[in-house]
Structures are given as C-alpha cells and as structure tokens.
C-alpha cells in the first residue's frame, strides 16, 4: 500500500533553517511528483511547491521563492523540503502529498491522492 512517512517535529529559532523528509513506499517513486502543503494553526491549507521525482524539476509558490528548496533522493525514495530564514509565521504542520493528474471530458484535473502524516515545525525564540 502507498505510504508517505514524514520526519518528526522540529523546533527552530527565527532565522534558522529546517529540512523535512518524506519517505515513500508502495509505488514507483519516480513515476509521480510530490507536493508540499502547509497548514498554520487554525488556518487552511497552503500549497508550497512541487518536485518531479522523475527529473527533479521544481515549481514553487511565488511567496516562498528564494526561501524554499525541494529535492529528492531516488535511491531511498525520499523527498525533502528545506525552508530557510524561518519566521514565526512559518509555524505550521507541513505535509507531503503525492501528485496525480486526471484528464477527462476535455478538462484536466490535478489532485493529491496520498498524504504524509504531517510534521509540526514550530518557530519560536
């Protein structure tokens, strides 16, 4: 069965960096992309970016450009998300999710079919 297992909770000081991992199993890792989504306490879901596990191509949310880097290690089927220059408003649960596409009746659709369990990142002095 498909599983995405994330690394554990982190506490960081403002200005530091954090790197969250997402280990995939149960499918061919390089056949899908991985998106990262975060959720601040009591808030909604925010898409952060996407990486192709096939060729490493990335697509980042504009507001995080320059602070976020997504990478993969195909030898261990693991995706990573690094966020730098952390601020208090980066405090959130960070999720990885498998990215999938759908085409039917002339339209495309994109969706996240499997999610990791989430990693709480707390930024506090």
Partner 1 sequence: SSELTQDPAVSVALGQTVRITCQGDSLRSYYASWYQQKPGQAPVLVIYGKNNRPSGIPDRFSGSSSGNTASLTITGAQAEDEADYYCNSRDSSGNHPVFGGGTKLTVL
Q: Is 41 in the site for partner 1 (CB under 8 A)?
A: no
Pick from 29, 50, 64, 72 the residue near partner 1 by CB under 8 A.
50
Contact stretch for partner 1 (CB under 8 A) within 10-18, 20-28, 73-81, 101-109: 101-109
Considering only the stretches 10-18, 56-64, 70-78, 80-88, report the one whose residues sit in contact with partner 1 under the rule CB under 8 A. 56-64
Smallest CA-to-CA distance from 49 within 26, 23, 20 is with: 20
Q: Report if residue 105 touches partner 1, rule: CB under 8 A.
A: yes
Encoded tokens for 102 = 């759908």
Helix (H, G, I), strand (E, B), or coil: what is residue 52? strand
Helices (H) and strands (E) in the chain, counts: 0, 11
Question: Tokens standing for 108?
Answer: 């495309």
Q: Among residues 9, 22, 30, which one has the least CA distance to residue 114?
A: 22
Residues that bind partner 1 in the complex, under the rule CB under 8 A? 35, 37, 44-47, 50, 59, 61-62, 95, 97, 100, 102, 104-105, 107-113, 115-118
């Amino acid at each position: 069965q498909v599983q995405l297992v994330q690394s554990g909770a982190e506490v960081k000081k403002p200005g530091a960096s954090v790197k969250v991992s997402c280990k995939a199993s149960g499918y061919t890792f390089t056949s899908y992309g991985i998106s990262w989504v975060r959720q601040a306490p009591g808030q909604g879901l925010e898409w952060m970016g996407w990486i192709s596990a096939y060729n490493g191509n990335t697509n980042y949310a504009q507001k995080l450009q320059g602070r976020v880097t997504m990478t993969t290690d195909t030898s261990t089927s693991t995706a990573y998300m690094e966020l730098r220059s952390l601020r208090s408003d980066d405090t959130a649960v960070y999720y990885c999710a498998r990215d999938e596409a759908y085409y039917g009746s002339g339209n495309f659709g994109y969706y996240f079919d499997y999610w990791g369990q989430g990693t709480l990142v707390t930024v506090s002095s």
